[in-house]
Structure 1
C-alpha cells in the first residue's frame, strides 16, 4: 500500500482527475440512492407497517379517482370484512385556529378514536386519541403532528393542556403524535369527531351518498392483500345491489385495497427509478473514463510491469499492486462523492417532496453508506483487474524481445470504453432534452389568466364569526377598502383564486338537455365570484356578461359558465339564457337547494388543475348568492405594483376580520410557476446529469486521443517526413475520434429509444421519440466531441519528424 501511495503521488494530475471523476459519479448515485432508500425501500415508521392498508373508493367514469366513503358504507365494510380489521376514519378539513399571536389556518384530520391504534402510532408526549373520545358527549380534543409541534410551538412540551379556539369551539391539546408521513395530505392537527359538529350531524351519520371520509385498515392475521381485495369486491357487489339509488351504474364505483407503503409512493416510484437509472448511466460514464485513464497508465507502465513479471512477480502480486492503487483512488473518490451527495441532498429532498410525503425520511444512513462502499469497491476491482486480464506470459516475452510500446488489445479496450461513455452520455442527454422540451411546452400553455401585476391571498372567514350575510358584507367591505388603495386597478373575491381548484365538485344538469340513459352524471366545480373578479384575474368574457353588482342575494339566480362546461352541456347551441341547476343527493348534506340558475355569460377556461390537465368545467355564481355558506375568501388584486400592497391589505384584513388568518399570499406568476415546479426540477436534475456525462465523455475522448497520439508519435513523424501535410495529420486524428463518436452516438440513440418510452408519462406536448430532441442531442454530442478531438489533433500536427524518429 505504501508503494501504491508513492506511485500515485508521482502522478498527481492522474490521481486528481480519477478521484474527481469518480466523486462526481459516486456522489450522484449516493444522493439519488438516499432518496430511493428513504422513499421506496425504508420500512414505514408505523408499527407493523407492512400490514397497514389504505382502502380507496373510486368512480373513474365520472372523473373521481378518489370518491371517498360515507359513514354507512364504512359500517357495511367493517361489519362484513374478515380480512381487514379496524377501518379507522379520517376526514380532512381546514379550520381557523386562535390562541397564538395571530390566527392561523390549519389542516385538520378528523379521526375516529381507533385511528392511532390502526395506524400503529404513539404519542411522543401526552396521549393519543382513543375510542373514549368518540361520540357527541366527548370533549373536543386535538393532537399535534410532530412537524406542526416543532414548527409552530418550537417543540415546547408546555403545549399540553393548552386550550385553542377553532371555528368558535374550544379544543384542548392532549398530545403530540410521533413522526410519520402525512397521508393522504399534509396534516397539522388531528381532532376527534365532536370538534366538527358536521361529523355528528344526522346527514353525515346516515347519508350513504355523503362521502367525505378516507379509510385505513389492517390485514387480519393470515390475510393477504389479494384475499382482502377479493373480499371487498364481493362485499361491494352486495352493497351496490342493496342500495342501487346510491350507486349510479354509469359512475363505475369500485374499491381498491393498497398497502399504505405503496399508496404513499405511487406517484414517486416511476420517477425515482428513472432518476436512479440515469444516475447509474452517469456512473457508467465516469467509470468508463476512469477505466481509460487507468488503462492508459497501465500501458505506459507495461514495460515496468512486464519486467516485474520476468523477475518473478506472479500475476496475483501484480494484481495486488494495481488493486492497491485503484482502491486508494476509489476510497478517495467515494469520500469526496459523499461530500457532493450531502451538498445536493436538500435539492433532492425538495424534488421528492413534490411526489411523496415520505421525503421527510430521506437521509444518508448506514444503508446508503454501505451502498457507497459497494460502488467504490466494485469500481476498484474493475479498474484493477481489467488491465491485468490482458497480460500473459507470451505477451510479456514479446514485449521484452521487441521493446514495442504498442498494444492493440489495450487500444481496442480504450476505444470500446469511449464508445460506452458517448452512448451513456447521449442517452442521459436525450432524457434531459425531452424533459426540457416538456418544460418549454408547458411554459407556452395559455393558462387563461394574466399573471403580471396580480397578487392573491386567502382570508377564510371564521365559521363562528357571524351569519352568512354578515360574513358576506364583511368580505365585500374588505374588497372595497383594498380597491381604494393607490394603484389598485381591480379587486375580486371568490371561493378560490385563479389557477387553483375550488375543491368542490357537484353534479350539474341543464334544462332541456337530459343525459342519455346509462351515461354517468356530469360533474363541475362550484365557484363564486364578485364583480371585477374576472377583470382582476385577467380573464375575459367570451359571451354575455360577467358577475355584476345587481346580482344580489335574493335576486334572480344567475351563473357564468366557463367554456369547458358550456361546450359540454350545450354543444354548439347558445348557452345564454339557458338554465342549469346543481343536483344529486349531496346537496341535502351541504344545505343547498339546487334551484335553477339562468346562464348570463361564458368566461374563458383557466388551467386550475395545472397546464398538463384539461381545464375543469366550472360554474361561477355571484358571491352574494353563495348557497354553501362557505367563505374561504379568495382575494385577487390587480395593481401597478401588487406585491407592495400586501402590508396594507393585511392591515385591512386584520382590522376588519381579526379572527381570520391571511394565508397563501402569492402572485399569479408564482402560482403558475408552482404548477410546473415538478417538471422544472425534473428537467434541471436530468439535464444536469446529462451535462455532467457530456463533460466526462468529452474529457475521456480528449484524453484517449492524446494518449494514442503519444503512442503513435513515431508513425506520425514518419508520415510527415514522407510528405504528409499537417492538415492530413489533423484529419487522421479527428477522423479517428469521429469514428468513435459515430459509434457512441448510434448506440446512445438506441438507448435513448428505450429511455424515451419510459419517460412517456412525464412528457407533455411532444412525442417520446421527438426528432428535434434526438437531432439536437446528437449534434451537441458530435460538436463537443469534435472540439475534444481538436487538442490532441493540434498536438499531433506539431510533431517534429526528426525528433520523433530519433526517440524511436
Structure 2
C-alpha cells in the first residue's frame, strides 16, 4: 500500500510538470467517457431497465396480422377480442383500448387532450395503484352508470394545479358531465401521451368482425411464456376462421412482450449510436497513447536511470500505468459531469414520441458502467506505452537520453501502428457519418405525396352530445369550413379524421367487397381508411 501511495504521489508530480499534456488528455477523456456514459444512460433506460409495472415481463401486446393480404400489424375487432377473452387459457387478464382526442372542460376553457377508452381489466394488467382515489372498475362501463374518468399525473398537475381534492369533482368530457374518480402516479402514461382514461363498454353484438380498431394488451399467467401464448392464440384464430370464414380467414395474431414492442423502432438506432461513441472513445485512446509514447521517448533517460538503480520492469510499468489511470480517473470524473448535461440535451432534442425517454436518469448501473469504463480506458491507452517504455535497453537509453531521445526504432514502429489504427477507426466513423448524412438528405428529398407549402392545420374536437343527429354534425363542419374559406388569404379548406404524418394516424382496418362481385372470402379485402371531405 505504501508503494502505491508513492506511485500516486510521483505520478501526480510527473503530470503537473507537463500541465498542457495533462489538460489535453483529461479533456479528451472527459469527452469520450462522458459521451459513452450519456449514451449508455439512454440505452439503459430504454432497452435494459424493466418497465416500471410489477412483473412487467408478463405484459404482452396482441396485434392482428394477415400475411395473405400483406397486413403485418393491425388492431382487432370487438367480437374477436371477446372470443379471445373467453377461449384463452394463458392470460390472467386481457384488455382493449382506443386512443384518440377528447374535449375537456373544467369551467375555464375547452381543451383537446389525449384520451384513452379502456375495457374493464386494463388497470388490473398494469397493477399500478392510483395516486389519489381509485382506478376504473369493471362495473364503470355498465349501462346506466354515471360517466367517470381517471386523470394522468401530468394533466392533474397542469390543468388542476395538483389539487388533491379533485377526486369526486365533475368536469365536462366530450360534452358529458363526468366524475373524476382517481389520479394515476407520475410515469404511468400507457398508451403514450394519454392524459385521461375512461371506461369503454363492450357491445360485440353491435360491432362487425371486420371492423378492427381495438388495441389489445394482456398479462400472462405465472409460468406461461410468449411462445405458448402464440401457439394457443393461433389455435383460437383457426377456430374463428372456420366459424367466420368471410371475415377471419387468413387472420392470425402476433404476441409481443410490451417492452420489446415499445422500443422495437429505436433499438437498432440506439445500439448503432452506442457503437459510434465507443469508436470515438477508442480514437481518443489512440490519441492519448500516441502522446504517451512521445512522452515516454522524452523520459528514456529517467527510465534508464531508475532501471540502473535497481527498479524492475514491473515497477516501471506499474508507475507508468498509475499515471495513465490518474489521467483516466480525472477524465472520468469530469466525463460523468459532462454526461449529466449531455443526457439532458439528448432528452430535450429527442422526438416527442420517443419511447421511455422520460425515464432516463442516472442509476447504479450507469455509475458502475462509467467507473468500469474509466478504469478499462486507462489500461487501454496506457498499457502499450508502458510496456514499450519499460523494454528500453539500458545503455541505449542513456545514450538516447543524452541525445534528446527519439524512442528508438521499436517505439517509432509502435507509434506508427497506433496512428494506423486511429486513422482506420476515424475512417470507419467518417464513412458511417457520411452514410447517415446521405440518408438524411434522401429523407429530406422524399416527397410526402402532397405539396406542404402554405399549408396550415388545426385540430377540432366536438363533444358528441352537442348534436342531435349526424345531420347537425355535418352541418356544423360544413359551416365551419365555409367560414374559414371566407377568411382573407384562404384558398381552400379540407377536413380529415387524422392528419398525415401527424403522429395520431388511426390504425383502423375494415373489410370491403368489390361492387358487382360476389361477397365471398376470395373477393373480400381489408383496407385502412380515413374519412375525409372532397376538398381534402
Q: What TM-score, normalized to structure 1?
A: 0.60
1:413-463 deviation per Cα after TM superposition (whole angstroms, max 9, x unaligned): 221221222222221222221121122222223334333333111123222
Cα pair distance change 1:476/1:223, threshold 3 Å:
closer
Going from structure 1 to structure 2, the CA distance change for 1:431 and 1:444 (only over 3 Å counts) comes to: same
* Pairs within 5 Å for 1:257-268: 257-268=255-266
CA contact (8 A) 1:483 1:490 kept: yes
Aligned to 2:328: 330
Check whether the contact 1:38–1:359 (CA below 8 A) recurs between aligned residues: yes
Q: Are 1:93 and 2:100 an aligned pair? A: yes
Give the aligned partner of residue 11 of structure 1: 18
CA distance in 1, matches of 2:328, 2:314: 20
1:173-215 CA distance string (max 9 Å, x none): 1112234464454311111125xxxx447414xx433432222
Aligned to 1:656: none
Asked if the contact 2:321–2:386 (Cα under 8 Å) also holds between the matched residues in 1, the reply is no
Aligned twin of 1:410: 411
- SS of structure 1 residue aligned to 2:73: coil
Whether contact under 8 Å (1:84, 1:218) holds in the other structure is: yes
- 1:168 pairs with one of 170, 175, 182: 175
The Cα shift of 1:228 comes to: 2.0
CA contact (8 A) 2:36 2:277 kept: yes
| Residue 87 of structure 2 corresponds to residue 80 of structure 1 | yes
- Describe how 1:224-303 pairs up with structure 2 within 5 A: 224-247=225-248, 249=249, 252-303=250-301
Q: Which moved more, 1:145-154 or 1:88-97?
A: 145-154
- Report the counterpart of residue 194 of structure 2 in structure 1: 187
Give the conservation status (yes or no) of the 8 Å contact 1:18–1:290: yes
Match of 2:39 in 1: 32
Task: Please point out which of 43, 47, 55 is paired with 2:54.
Answer: 47
Judged with a 3 Å threshold, the aligned counterparts in structure 2 of structure 1 residues 112 and 475 are, in CA distance, closer, same or farther, namely: closer
Which has the greater radius of gyration? 1
Partners in 2 of 1:149 and 1:60 — Cα distance?
A: 43
SS at match of 1:191: strand
Asked if the contact 2:148/2:181 (under 8 Å) is kept, the reply is yes
Alpha-carbon distance change, 411 to 355 in structure 1, aligned in 2, over 3 angstroms? farther
Q: 2:472 matched to which residue of 1?
A: 470
Check whether the contact 1:493–1:529 (CA below 8 A) recurs between aligned residues: yes
Deviations 1:722-775 (A, max 9, x none): xxxxxxxxxxxxxxxxxxxxxxxxxxxxxxxxxxxxxxxxxxxxxxxxxxxxxx
Kept in 2, the 8 Å contact 1:49–1:120? The answer is no
CA distance in structure 2 between the partners assigned to 1:39 and 1:284 by the alignment: 25
Say if 1:95 and 1:167, in contact at 8 Å, map to a contact too: yes
- Asked if the contact 1:288/1:417 (under 8 Å) is kept, the reply is yes
- 2:369 aligned residue (368, 371, 379): 371
The aligned runs of 1:243-642 (5 Å cut-off) are 243-247=244-248, 249=249, 252-350=250-348, 353=351, 356-391=354-389, 395-400=393-398, 405=405, 406-466=407-467, 467-497=469-499, 500=502, 503=506, 505-508=509-512, 511=515, 518=522, 521=525, 523=527, 525-529=529-533, 533=535
Partner of 1:122: 129
Q: SS state of the match for residue 476, structure 1?
A: helix
Give the whole-Å Cα distance in 2 for the aligned partners of 1:427 and 1:471.
59
Deviations 1:291-346 (A, max 9, x none): 11122111211221121122122333323322332222112211222233222223
Cα distance, 1:162 vs structure 2:
2.1
Q: Residues 452 and 62 of structure 1: is their aligned pair in 2 closer, same or farther, counting only changes over 3 Å?
A: same
Taking the TM superposition and a 5 Å limit, the aligned residue runs for 1:626-665 are none
The change in CA–CA distance for 1:180 and 1:61 in structure 2 (over 3 A counts) is: farther
Could you say what the CA RMSD is over the residues aligned between the two structures, in angstroms? Answer: 2.7
From 112, 124, 148, the counterpart of 1:105 = 112
Following superposition, the deviation at residue 402 of structure 1 comes to 6.3
Q: Is the 8 A contact 1:127 1:174 kept in 2?
A: yes
Shift of the 70–156 alpha-carbon distance from structure 1 to 2, 3 Å rule, reads: same
Offset at residue 64 of structure 1 (A):
3.6
String of CA shifts for 1:78-97, please: whole Å, max 9, x gaps.
33322222112222232212
Q: Report how many aligned residue pairs link the two structures.
A: 523
What is the aligned partner in structure 1 of residue 3 from structure 2? none
5+ residue gaps, structure 2? 1-7
Aligned-partner Cα distance in 1 for 2:28–2:90: 53
Q: CA deviation at 1:352?
A: 5.2
Contact 1:267 1:355 in 2 (8 A): no
Conserved 8 A contact 2:66-2:252: yes
* 2-structure distance, mates of 1:509, 1:266: 34
CA distance in 2, matches of 1:41, 1:414: 39
Pair 1:152–1:426, CA change in 2 (3 A): farther
Report the Cα distance in structure 2 between the residues aligned to 1:105 and 1:98, rounded to whole angstroms.
9
How far did residue 222 of structure 1 move?
1.9
The SS at the match of 2:492 is strand
The separation in 2 between residues aligned to 1:186 and 1:392, in whole angstroms, is 60
Larger relative contact order, structure 1 or 2 (CA cutoff 8 Å, min sep 6): 2
SS at match of 2:53: coil
The equivalences for 1:149-164 within 5 A come to 149-164=156-171
SS at match of 2:493: strand
**Residue 50 to residue 499, structure 1, CA distance change in 2 (3 Å):** closer
Q: Is the 8 A contact 2:64 2:75 kept in 1?
A: yes
Structure 1's 176 and 186: CA in aligned 2 closer, same or farther, altered over 3 A?
A: same
Structure 1 residue runs of 5 or longer lacking an equivalent are 535-808
TM-score (structure 2 length as normaliser): 0.89
Distance change (3 Å), C-alpha of 1:276 and 1:310: same
Q: Check whether the contact 1:89–1:214 (CA below 8 A) recurs between aligned residues.
A: yes
Q: 1:516 to 1:24 in 2, by over 3 A?
A: farther
